[in-house]
Amino acid sequence: MVFDGSYRPTNDFFYLDVTDIPFNNTIERMSWTDITHLDKVPANSWASSAIGGVNQDLIFLFGGQMEFNKDNALVYVFDTNKDKWDNPNIKGATPLRRRNFAAVSDEAGKMYIFGGTADKYTGYPNTTDFNDMTILDTVNLIWYEGSKEDAPIPRTSYSVVMLPDGIIIYIGGIQRFSNRTYAYVDMSEISIYDANHDRWSTMKNFCQKIAEGNVPGIRGEHTSVLAPDGRIIIYGGKVNDTAAEPQLCVLNTTTTPYTWSQPKSYYPVPDLWLHIAVMVGNYMVVAFGFSPTHGRTSDVYILDLSENDVYKWITLFVKEKTIKPEDVSCYGYITPNTNEEVGTIVALLLGGFGAGVCVAASSYIICRAKSNTNLSRM
């Protein structure tokens, strides 16, 4: 979507191979590879995705806004072994297409989709904001509906992380009320969905307290990733059209209640929103987005988390004379596994924009080990 101009999603599809990056102080240049020529899906933006399938080697793309076509599917699947797109036949009650939401998946292949908005941009005549938990069984291809009891009010622009124990954590974003007004969610209010027991709660009634510590400012369009030691690293975001403060904050999920901190980082990078972020071992990789100082950007940054309480940024550069995607702002992400042998990280971006102010595009991160394809969840 473009403000003060025309809305033009695209189906750009490419990857960034960082196999040879040592992830230390020796920085090499990376190159983008365009694979848009593969079986295409319709131009799209504001969708979300998650890993699924029996072998966790499929990327499921759900929803988003597309240029209208009655043949557009609600779900597309990319097979990372065959490098091929498909639109599967899924049983159950089909949910409405929506945008501006996020999805995560678990080891059993369940894809959890919360919130979002359906409106004229998604082919729905009346604007509807959601607070439902839609579950897609990516193995058996069946839709389910999760519990709405104690669910948060409709929400968009949040970030989400799934813990190894099946707890899904929703952070920040925008609450949308029935009278069409909205408000940013206080960062001390952590919404929690227990995927094992199909149950909602908040940090307030879950632990009798809100999240404590040095609580950061409100925000939307930010990212969250889970570090191996249980820290959730939040970066970026905005409030209206102003960068959220601070850009870097940390939620410790090993304490009860969870605890916020606002660490200082070394060699800080620009403020960002509508970017992507993934964990690769002990490193958070951040790319794309919009910066109030740099505008739309395709720069890549790494935050070194290998030392406890020390946060060091590194800027990566894309090789010259290789395919470099047009500067875009991104939304939606999949986090690679954090196994010691990372293998090849491939960033696949679907969506993009022409001139004007970018709002969002869909994105995917997959992890290919040297011997076989190995994908993991957010």
Residue 309 DSSP code: T
Closest CA to 302 of 311, 290, 293, 294: 311
- 142 pLDDT tier (thresholds 50, 70, 90): very high
Would you say residue 376 lies in a domain? no
Residue-wise burial string across 263-292, b where 16 or more C-beta atoms lie within 10 A, e elsewhere: eebeeebbbbbbbbbbbbbebbbbbbbbbe
Residues comprising the chain, all counted: 378
For residue 28, the model assigns a pLDDT of 52
Q: Is the pLDDT of residue 128 over 80?
A: yes
**Beta pairing partners, 114:** 102, 133
Proportion of the chain above pLDDT 90, given as a percent: 52
Taking CA atoms, 9 is separated from 15, 129, 297, 348, in Å, by: 18, 22, 17, 15
Q: Residue 143, Cβ neighbours under 10 Å: how many?
A: 17
366 falls in which pLDDT band (50, 70, 90)?
very low
Lowest mean pLDDT, pick from 198-202, 239-243, 339-343: 339-343
* Residues 168 and 151: beta-carbon distance below 8 Å: no
Quote the percentage of the chain above a pLDDT of 70. 75
Which of 64-68, 88-92, 272-276 has the lowest average pLDDT?
Answer: 64-68
Confidence check: pLDDT of 73 > 90? yes
Check residues 288 and 249 and name the one with the higher pLDDT.
Answer: 249
| Domain presence at residue 374 | no
Domain range holding 350?
2-368
Is 375 part of any domain?
no
CA distance 110 to 168: 12
Q: What is the pLDDT of residue 247?
A: 97
The residue ranking higher by pLDDT, 257 or 373, is 257
On the question of pLDDT at 331 being above 70, the answer is no
Max avg pLDDT among 37-51, 126-140, 309-323? 126-140
For 122, phi then psi, to 5°, come to -105, 10
373 part of a folded domain: no
pLDDT band at 351 (very low <50, low <70, confident <90, very high): very low
Tell whether the torsion through CA atoms of 367, 368, 370 and 373 is positive or negative.
positive
**pLDDT given at position 298:** 80
Asked if the model's pLDDT at residue 82 lies above 80, the reply is yes
Q: Is residue 101 part of a domain?
A: yes
Query: Global pTM?
Result: 0.84
In a domain, 251, yes or no: yes
Flag whether pLDDT at 7 surpasses 70. Answer: no
Task: Write out pLDDT tens, residues 12-23.
Answer: 777 766 665 545
pLDDT of residue 8: 61
For position 371, what pLDDT does the model report? 31
Bigger pLDDT: 296 or 74? 74
Identify the pLDDT of residue 317.
Answer: 57
How many domains is the chain partitioned into structurally? 1
DSSP string, 167-216: EEEEE--EEE-TTS-EEEPPTT--EEEETTTTEEEEHHHHSSS--EESPP
Report how far residue 100's alpha carbon sits from residue 83's, in angstroms, rounded to the nearest whole number.
27
pLDDT tens, position by position, 199-234: 998 765 554 347 899 999 999 999 999 999 999 999
Q: Which of 224, 229, 282 is nearest to 249 (CA)?
A: 224
Among residues 137, 61, 8, 99, the alpha carbon closest in space to that of 333 is found at: 61
Chain centroid, CA 154 distance in Å: 18
Residue 179 lies in a domain: yes
The pLDDT of residue 18 is 60
pLDDT in tens, 27-50: 455 667 787 888 778 888 888 999
Pairing status of strand 212-213 against strand 259-261? parallel
Confidence of residue 337 (pLDDT cuts 50, 70, 90): very low
Cβ proximity of 48 and 104 under 8 Å:
no
Q: 111 near 60, Cβ under 8 Å?
A: yes
CATH of the domain at 24: 2.120.10.80
